[in-house]
Each structure stands twice: as C-alpha cells, then as structure tokens.
Amino acid sequence: MSVALREPLAVSLRRGVPLVWAHGDGRERRALLGWGERFRASARGPERFRTLNFAFRDFAAGCEPGQVPLAFVAAAFSADSAAESVLVVPDVVGRWHRGRLDLPPGSTVPEPTEPSEFEELDFAAGTLTREQYRRAVARAVELIAAGEVEKIVLARDLIATGTHPIDLSAVLARLQAANPESWTFHIDGTFGSSPELLAAVHGDTVYSRVLAGSAPVTGRPEVDTNAARALMASGKDHMEHAYAARSVSARLAAVADVTIGRPEILRLPTIMHLSTEVTGSLTEPLSALEVAALIHPSAAVCGTPTERAAQLIAELEGLDRGRYAGPVGWVDGEGNGQFALALRSGQLAPDACSVRLFAGGGIVAGSVPSDELAETAQKFLPMYQALSPVAQP
C-alpha cells in the first residue's frame, strides 16, 4: 500500500525543496515531486539530448522488472552553453492531487519546514541594460528588413540579489498558486512557471501548445477584452505566431501524423498570448525526451530560419542563456512525459542568495524596440511577484 499524506501542495513543497513538476487549474491541480537522487546524468554540447537519453535508457534497463523509473530533466538552450544539461532520477517520487500526496510503500520524505520571511531583493540589469536591449531589437529589425532572417527571439536577464538564501519552496508555492495554467518546475536550481508546453507524449499520442504574440493583462475586463481583440486582429503578432506554430508542426510531421488547431487567446494572470495546439499520433516509438529534442529550438524561442536566427541571437544578446528557454520536464522508462520551455524562469545561484531571471520576445518586421522592452518587463512579472516580500492574495 502506498503512503498517503493529506496536505496542501505548499506544505509538500516545503519538504526538503523537492524536484517539482506541477500543473492544473482549480481543484484538478496535480504535481510530481521528487526527493533524493538515485541516478544523475549530465551533458553539454550538441549531443546533450542524445547523451541524456542513452544514459536514462541504460539506467532503466537495469531496473527490476515491473519498475518504471521517472527522471526530471533540465536542458541548456544552446549547444555551446557552458551550463550543464541534467537528468535526475530521484529516490522517491510523490504524486500530489487534490490535497493528497501519495508516496511509494515504505518511503519517507523530509518533514516540512516553516516558510522564511521574504526579503526585499535588489534587482540589477544583467548582460544587457534596457537601452542596450532596445538597440539589439533595432538591429534585429534592420536585419529582418535586409532579408537575413524572418524572426529573431531576443532575451535579456536580470540579477536579483539578497543577503540570505531565498526560500525556494515558498517561491515555488507562490508560482504554482498564481499561475495554475502554467507548468511550475524546479530541477537542479532551474525554476519557474512556464505557459508553453513543448511536447507531451503518452503512448503514441503527442501534444504541443505553441505560444507567440502577446499583450498585457491589466485585470480590467473592458481593457483586457479590447486587448484580446486587438491581439487576434494583429498582423504582426499573427506573423510571429505562425513562424512558431509552423516550426513545431513541421518537425513533428516527420515522426507523427499531426493536426494543427487554430490560434486562440490564452489569458494568463499578467499576460495573454496567441496559442495553437498541435496534436498527433507518433509513427515511430519516441520518448518525450526524444520528441522534445527533435522540436527544440522552436521559432517561439529562437527564430526563423533556425540556424541563422541562433547565430544572430548569440551576436545580439551577448549572453549565455543557460537553461533559459531550453526543454524542462520529466520522462519515464516507458517514454511517457511532458516538457515545457523554461520560460518565466530563473537560475538559483549556488549560495541561493541570488537568482538570474530571463525574459524575451519575438522580433519580426514592424517590431518596435520600446514595445519589445515593455513585453519583457511584463514577462518578468510572475517571477518578480513570486520573489517579492509583498503579501500574496
């Protein structure tokens, strides 16, 4: 018999800062939580996905019959990143649903700690200042007009620093509560709450939710309704979105029979996006990690055409994204799993006293530098609010 604990997710998250994969809306919120480390693999470079996949396959092959191991994965965005891509199989995997944490028979997890008082953090520009980001966007627009590329996704970073270790468990609880339609995650210090699901695989079924094109959400119904209508009518945003949706569907079409939905509005607490669902049936046996590797990097986080956009990103951003905008999620020994893009995210420093935050936007013909800067500020909000000492509703 499994061990069942009746407790809110916020309490489960305070049990030793587990690995986290949480999603849901309303009463259907669900989470996978992992404690300890039974197996770890790491990789860098262009073969990072292949290396992690083979390492996990070898590990799974050595498990006892009937056991289906589950691994949490966080991968670097770029093949030339200095950041490690990691795959971690925890000692204990708990499944939380509707106020109940189910644990394997005979397993134990840490006792919950009390949440720490939130400290006001100092925020400073990272690699690019605001003005440097505007100039990078302006240069990207020039390159697009010259025909070198159709879309470039440009990001900037902020460094948030305090004097005491950040209470990551409390931050994760805030992120999940405030962003129930996003996927809240924590793997090896990479954490956030992403609204974009890169790939989900269950058996031979594959699913992706593509986001591109956005507008702010103010909380004022009339203003937000008008903004949604303007977003649906925006040629610039639909162009940006079409690049992203096509990049995902075209790559999936090589391994699956796919169906592409129509763009719709996905409204989140601080921002709304054009959203397209891509569904299909795999025509060959691939794991969720393999499908994520096939799709990445999509035009939603890189650009079009991919290779040239990636080159220009490196030149214009001048930063190592690390795991930002890379695939993050879980895969099990049968190939099932879910991977989001590590957006609305940050990387916790080794001393836990600071975190590097990232946000970006898609640049296409007609993009305005000041508007793109404002969009990144909007995308920083979920993490900023989760880290803030201001009391949450």
Q: Which domain holds residue 62?
A: 37-89+119-387
Stated pTM of the model: 0.94
Q: Is residue 147 part of a domain?
A: yes
Residue 66 in domain = yes
Please give the tally of structural domains in the chain.
1
| pLDDT higher than threshold 50 for residue 26 | no
As a whole number, mean pLDDT of residues 239-268 equals 89
* pLDDT digit string, tens, across residues 118-176: 999 999 999 999 999 999 999 999 999 999 999 999 999 999 999 999 999 999 999 99
105-114, 243-252, 341-350, range with the lowest pLDDT:
243-252
Assess if residue 143 is contained within a domain: yes
Confirm whether 28 is domain-assigned.
no
Q: Is residue 232 assigned to a domain?
A: yes
More confident residue, 240 or 55: 55
Whether residue 14 lies inside any domain: the answer is no
Q: Name the packing angle between helices 369-387 and 168-178 (round to 10°).
A: 120
Give the pLDDT band (50/70/90) at residue 391: low
pLDDT tens-digit profile of 304-342? 999 999 999 999 999 999 999 999 999 999 999 999 999
Residues 178-194, mean pLDDT to the nearest whole number: 94
Using 50, 70 and 90 to split pLDDT, how confident is the model at 117?
A: confident
Does 99 fall in a domain?
no
The enclosing domain of 257 has a CATH number of 3.60.120.10
Please report whether residue 175 resides in a domain.
yes
Which positions are catalytic? 151, 196
